[in-house]
Structure 1
Amino acid sequence: MKRTITTLLFGAALLAAADKPQTFTGVITDTMCGAKHTMGITPDDKCVRECVKMASKTKFALLAGKDVYVLSDQQTPEKFAAQKVTVTGTLFEKTKVIKVDKIEAASAGSGHSGHSH
């Protein structure tokens, strides 16, 4: 019985740790092109918006380093298309989806792309 309680508490602690919001810095792109907009150069804002509008399965995403994450919020990213942003949210590793809490323009000092815990 004591072992079961310990196992349950440990499992709950792991789940709680996975649910903690993280900060991600990258460029708003889309799931169709990812990092490949304008021949490998930073994505063009018009291209990103058009890709999302024209293809029903294409979503706004965050290009952070070499990783592309789908964003749960599909309204806010439109105004930041092809711009460097900071996204605060919870990452679901298996699906590469970030449940977005907040998206804001990246500050001038946020030079590294990726995420922090």
Structure 2
Amino acid sequence: MKRTVLSFVLGCSLLTVTASAKKWSGTISDEKCGAAHADASEKSMKCVQGCVKGGKAAVFVSDGKVYKFSADSADKIKDHLGHKVTIDGNMKDDVITVKSVTMN
């Protein structure tokens, strides 16, 4: 009985993670400026890079909404600060876990 319940719980949790896998297009910004740098201009890129270097968290802006990144996504996004990108990943509670990033 315990094994059946455990198998059911594990199966449901895998379905939940798989169901939220998605791709989003938008801009990587910082938590201080958020959507203000969604234009990905040279000025915006420099500001985002400076803010993140100064300790602000990187965020993802898509359709005017700002999303946080999971802690383990930092290495995957670090070369794309201020860029327009497409992100492949999972989202839970408005936090994105990045699988891959592609420049637009």
Name the TM-score class by shorter chain. 0.7 to 0.9
* Other structure's SS at 1:101 match: strand
**Do the aligned partners of residues 76 and 11 (structure 1) sit closer, same or farther apart at CA in structure 2, a change above 3 Å counting?**
closer
Counterpart position of 1:70: 68
- Alpha-carbon deviation of 1:45? 0.7
Any conservation in 2 of the 1:59–1:74 contact (CA below 8 Å)? no
Counterpart position of 2:39: 42
Counterpart position of 2:90: 90
The CA distance in 2 between the partners of 1:52 and 1:25, in whole Å, is 20
The CA distance in 2 between the partners of 1:22 and 1:83, in whole Å, is 19
The CA distance in 1 between the partners of 2:59 and 2:67, in whole Å, is 5
**Do the aligned partners of residues 17 and 25 (structure 1) sit closer, same or farther apart at CA in structure 2, a change above 3 Å counting?**
farther
Q: What are structure 2's unaligned runs of at least 5 residues?
A: none
Any conservation in 2 of the 1:35–1:63 contact (CA below 8 Å)? yes
Between the two proteins, the alignment pairs up a number of residues equal to 94
The TM-score, its normalising length taken from structure 2, stands at: 0.72
1:82-113 CA distance string (max 9 Å, x none): 221111111012xx21111111113xxxxxxx
Paired letter, 2:80: F
Structure number having the greater helix percentage: 2
1:80 and 2:80 correspond: yes
Any conservation in 2 of the 1:86–1:104 contact (CA below 8 Å)? yes
RMSD: 2.4
The CA distance in 1 between the partners of 2:77 and 2:9, in whole Å, is 36
1:100 and 2:98 correspond: yes
The CA distance in 2 between the partners of 1:88 and 1:76, in whole Å, is 11
Q: What are structure 1's unaligned runs of at least 5 residues?
A: 107-117
The TM-score, its normalising length taken from structure 1, stands at: 0.65
